[in-house]
Structure 1
């Protein structure tokens, strides 16, 4: 073989022993199995077959293989060394070669160019992302609700709430309210409205003799400040109500005005007589009559003029065309804010201004009364006179500027259509014009009529304003008396979960009946736990033995617990911000849903059977209600024992006994027709 010839030429055979032979490599070809590389230093490599590689400068290496002769009969057990040329794989540049490129000016510039380009592109992408976020249209987060929007407003009649005096004289007072703070906290309300507490108000609420002091029968200013301070610590806000239209006749302002003492001369509405009758008596300036009947003018011989009183003769009307009076009342508002008050309810706000020219009232052609009766006239010159809303708006702005979350509400004995103007979107209006146009007629209202009235009121108020529902007041009988005891829970469910603020009268959460100002029943002890006095100035509810706070707090279910659960439900975004969809089912069931899909909150479904028959109804008319719904709240005495709180019901078959009511929750679905 040619290969054998080459091997024989390049090496001499050297005898070792009888066991084998090896071929001697020339010295210029290899040294100690080391591989020479370009740097001149030998480098040893291993081939995949286990031999040694001797690398050359051109990428070709000489492979030295030691071949065992065992089992080879021809070689007689001799070991052979095979030398072959092998192509080496590229193993990269050495450190010195790399450093040459690294220090080359061209590569340095290229690296800097790529570095700068990377950060420019990164900054550009960041700028674009920010621009997209800023400029892209997005849904604005709803404005957070204030305390008087989130919570019902709980009206407290101070003289009949709790006797807190050491002597137990049988009269409610400010200390009695402070004694019952835990009750407000447990209920979960954030705002209470106190009945008039100013000097002169305890006996007759409209006879204020001092707008910046506490009536002694109710306590002291120290008692009041202590009360508001502790309520504030508990997260409960205080609003007070009073009548700004007039003062009592014994008010120092009126006494000074009688004497024409400046600046009080024109603090009240004074006018000269229009003439004399046949007997020489002074005739009033015009045909205005008081709400109580008869002329609205009273002649005062000391001053020689008539003063206006749209109510009793001992209630002279203040002159709100006088800037001094406006400043006085702003000072009054500030005084009470400094004492811890965070809201005001101005009663009889529709009487604040009257025609300064004293023009006669026009006749009401629909009236069947006589000329001395109030309903005989239209009262365009004396009620809701132009400028009244702007005046009230200025009071509201004043309160807002002095408080973080102050509230100004008003009451007015007028129709809903007239009350809407008190929102007066352009002139800012007031926060809460108290609306009782629905609840005053609940007893004779069916489901369809109630739905119509609710929707008419909600659709009629200006956009962006917050509705309210006055469920009770000192001027009407108890809610349970106006509807029926079995419907109290249903009425509360409907109005507590509608958009808007419910305004309730103390004790209505217990379902008590009778007059508005009965003593609050705290227990079944003497006088219902209101006072230990032997006699009271006020009546106690006939049902106080069973419908009292102590019993309803401990009972498994009660009107109070329904009321409390409804207050807790109002914390849901679905109730504060959600949509309202209302239907009447089976002619007698008022039903509505509240859903706020953006928050992921559950949907709420309110069902109130106002009829006299037990029903099983389907709520499939609500397109987002799934097959199963969950009971959240049920009315007291619900006749179907299977309907328990937290129980699952089929939305196609919801039991509703006569006068029964439910609040259900569900996960809104996207089912379509």
Structure 2
């Protein structure tokens, strides 16, 4: 069944959009099996609509053995029975569109499950029709893997196959073999997968590990990364993946040609968007700019600059934004603090309630689009999951130094009056944290000053200022405890100022006739041209025209 896409008035709706990520396993269980599903998401769409977001990013729901919880796809054109049916997906599209919400689905193109029929055929021998659909290589003379590439999930990125007596490449689990993008048949088939879902009515794709599609055709060794350049932005510190400079296993120039082919397909449809996940801790901003610049590849992309452990001081945020800008203004970022792969940011950075609100406002003010992760609007913290309850193979592999991703994937909490938080009538696939129950949607719904209602006001406020959605970015001031910048669009400039500390701060507005917006969800004091910000507060002012001069106090 094909769903009609609603009339689109702005083909650039994605530019400045707020995108709400739903992890289907953990949003709402409708059939009592302890696992979230598509029907459950439909049930909770009014909550999503109440936030005022523009779109949902739906994490994978395709048929899968679920060794990596849907990121190991065994059928790209069907829904896994645990989540429902294609008819359920059609109903989700229809209901979301009726509520004015667009649907972006997570396409995992770099690899499949080893149970996918393509791989099952490919591994039978070296002469079958799909023998070259995956990255196969002979061993070295001593039987060891063909090069030194490492898997993000730990250990060599090569797995020996006894049928072909060759190694196959897997950048993630051994059960997730990498597709060979050097093969034109593979590229055509994956474009056809995208067309299948476009014809079904989706509004775009989140592209998993978008910089991993191609590897070096010559399979050259990666060089060692100097100690001083290593970090844990992509893999935890205990993972040797951080010891290499990943020159040849990803980020290959041929990737750009495939992205152009994908964009050509998307342009056949009305107002479709893409957001690419750039997994690279050394060149993330550069890749983001390259992949989105020129108007002929991705629409937007995000890296891990704000998803990593490093605390986002004003100085760091300014550096991230200016680095992104240095690669050209025609690129477009998509910024996030939390998602299904990282520790929830409130816990990661040890933020108070007031600090979470201020950082949310900062995120909503940066040049680019925004992703927020389910439960972020409730101020949920990371959950400490006991080892016996762990589901994530990544956490099980590196326990206890790295506990995996289960702590951010626990079920959404809707009610406070039962131990499952209204998520399911049965034992959930991951435990619901007791301290999450007090933050449930029902508990926050009627509290005017709750985190939930703050997010609603913040998103609504953002939409009243076009400069916050699509404007240019000009840094005025940054230090470790504050940041101030201008966003300018269509003859209007919005000033954004953030006190990222426990101490009162003040500053002078730049020259001009500035109006402070009384609808802004923060408390400030204004005396003429001087603004005083209490601890963990933000100020917004706007005027016609632009001005970059400023005098600072404190």
Task: Name the counterpart of 1:631.
Answer: 518
Task: Name the counterpart of 1:335.
Answer: 196
Say if 2:345 is the partner of 1:452. Answer: no
1:659 to 536, 543, 549: 536
Asked if the contact 1:630–1:666 (Cα under 8 Å) also holds between the matched residues in 2, the reply is no
The TM-score with structure 2 as length reference comes to 0.83
Residue 452 to residue 651, structure 1, CA distance change in 2 (3 Å): farther
Say if 2:53 is the partner of 1:177. Answer: no
1:610 to 500, 512, 516: 500
Task: Name the counterpart of 2:460.
Answer: 568
Task: Name the counterpart of 1:39.
Answer: none
Q: How does 1:286-305 map to 2 (within 5 A)?
A: 286-305=147-166
Say if 2:467 is the partner of 1:590. Answer: no
Distance in 2 between residues matched to 1:456 and 1:381, nearest whole Å = 24
Residues 590-644 of structure 1 deviation map (CA, whole Å, 9 limit, x = unaligned): 223434463xx6x5443321122134x2433x22244x63432234xx6xxxx6x
Residue 448 to residue 341, structure 1, CA distance change in 2 (3 Å): same
Distance in 1 between residues matched to 2:295 and 2:530, nearest whole Å = 49
Say if 2:487 is the partner of 1:619. Answer: no
Distance in 2 between residues matched to 1:448 and 1:507, nearest whole Å = 28
Residues 490-532 of structure 1 deviation map (CA, whole Å, 9 limit, x = unaligned): 1111121222101111111121111321211212121454334
Asked if the contact 2:477–2:483 (Cα under 8 Å) also holds between the matched residues in 1, the reply is yes
2:527 to 644, 650, 654: 650
Say if 2:449 is the partner of 1:557. Answer: yes
Residues 426-473 of structure 1 deviation map (CA, whole Å, 9 limit, x = unaligned): 58331122133135356x34333433332332x224232222212221
Residue 633 to residue 383, structure 1, CA distance change in 2 (3 Å): same
Return 5+ residue gaps in structure 1 as ranges. Answer: 1-142, 277-281
SS of aligned partner of 1:332: helix
Residue 512 to residue 322, structure 1, CA distance change in 2 (3 Å): same
Distance in 2 between residues matched to 1:456 and 1:271, nearest whole Å = 38
RMSD (CA atoms): 3.0
Residue 366 to residue 590, structure 1, CA distance change in 2 (3 Å): closer
Asked if the contact 1:154–1:506 (Cα under 8 Å) also holds between the matched residues in 2, the reply is yes
SS of aligned partner of 1:584: strand
Task: Name the counterpart of 1:18.
Answer: none
Q: How does 1:255-266 map to 2 (within 5 A)?
A: 255-260=120-125, 262-266=128-132
The TM-score with structure 1 as length reference comes to 0.69
Task: Name the counterpart of 2:211.
Answer: 350
Q: How does 1:5-44 map to 2 (within 5 A)?
A: none
Q: How does 1:115-194 map to 2 (within 5 A)?
A: 144=10, 146-165=12-31, 168-194=32-58
Distance in 1 between residues matched to 2:81 and 2:262, nearest whole Å = 28
1:539 to 422, 428, 431: 431
Distance in 2 between residues matched to 1:671 and 1:147, nearest whole Å = 28
Distance in 1 between residues matched to 2:223 and 2:459, nearest whole Å = 47
Asked if the contact 1:192–1:238 (Cα under 8 Å) also holds between the matched residues in 2, the reply is yes
SS of aligned partner of 1:295: coil
Asked if the contact 1:631–1:664 (Cα under 8 Å) also holds between the matched residues in 2, the reply is no
Say if 2:59 is the partner of 1:195. Answer: yes
SS of aligned partner of 2:330: coil
Distance in 1 between residues matched to 2:112 and 2:148, nearest whole Å = 23
Distance in 1 between residues matched to 2:496 and 2:295, nearest whole Å = 36
Question: Larger Rg: 1 or 2?
Answer: 1
Task: Name the counterpart of 1:243.
Answer: 108
SS of aligned partner of 1:250: coil
Asked if the contact 1:588–1:611 (Cα under 8 Å) also holds between the matched residues in 2, the reply is yes
Distance in 2 between residues matched to 1:391 and 1:216, nearest whole Å = 31
Distance in 1 between residues matched to 2:181 and 2:479, nearest whole Å = 53
Residue 229 to residue 301, structure 1, CA distance change in 2 (3 Å): same
Task: Name the counterpart of 1:323.
Answer: 184
Q: Give 1:159 shift.
A: 0.6
Q: Give 1:368 shift.
A: 11
Say if 2:367 is the partner of 1:499. Answer: yes
Return 5+ residue gaps in structure 2 as ranges. Answer: 1-8, 231-238, 383-406
Residues 212-252 of structure 1 deviation map (CA, whole Å, 9 limit, x = unaligned): 11111111111111111111222211111132111111111
Distance in 2 between residues matched to 1:364 and 1:438, nearest whole Å = 22
Task: Name the counterpart of 2:293.
Answer: 425
Asked if the contact 1:422–1:430 (Cα under 8 Å) also holds between the matched residues in 2, the reply is no
Task: Name the counterpart of 2:401.
Answer: none
Asked if the contact 2:113–2:176 (Cα under 8 Å) also holds between the matched residues in 1, the reply is yes
SS of aligned partner of 1:487: helix
Asked if the contact 2:488–2:546 (Cα under 8 Å) also holds between the matched residues in 1, the reply is no
SS of aligned partner of 2:131: coil
Residue 419 to residue 549, structure 1, CA distance change in 2 (3 Å): same
Distance in 1 between residues matched to 2:484 and 2:228, nearest whole Å = 39
Distance in 1 between residues matched to 2:549 and 2:130, nearest whole Å = 70
Distance in 1 between residues matched to 2:348 and 2:502, nearest whole Å = 17
Distance in 2 between residues matched to 1:492 and 1:391, nearest whole Å = 35
Residue 536 to residue 614, structure 1, CA distance change in 2 (3 Å): same
Task: Name the counterpart of 1:99.
Answer: none
Q: Give 1:653 shift.
A: 4.6
SS of aligned partner of 1:226: helix
Residues 12-68 of structure 1 deviation map (CA, whole Å, 9 limit, x = unaligned): xxxxxxxxxxxxxxxxxxxxxxxxxxxxxxxxxxxxxxxxxxxxxxxxxxxxxxxxx
Residue 295 to residue 664, structure 1, CA distance change in 2 (3 Å): same
Q: Give 1:670 shift.
A: 9.3
Q: Give 1:391 shift.
A: 1.3
Distance in 2 between residues matched to 1:346 and 1:631, nearest whole Å = 39
Say if 2:373 is the partner of 1:512. Answer: no
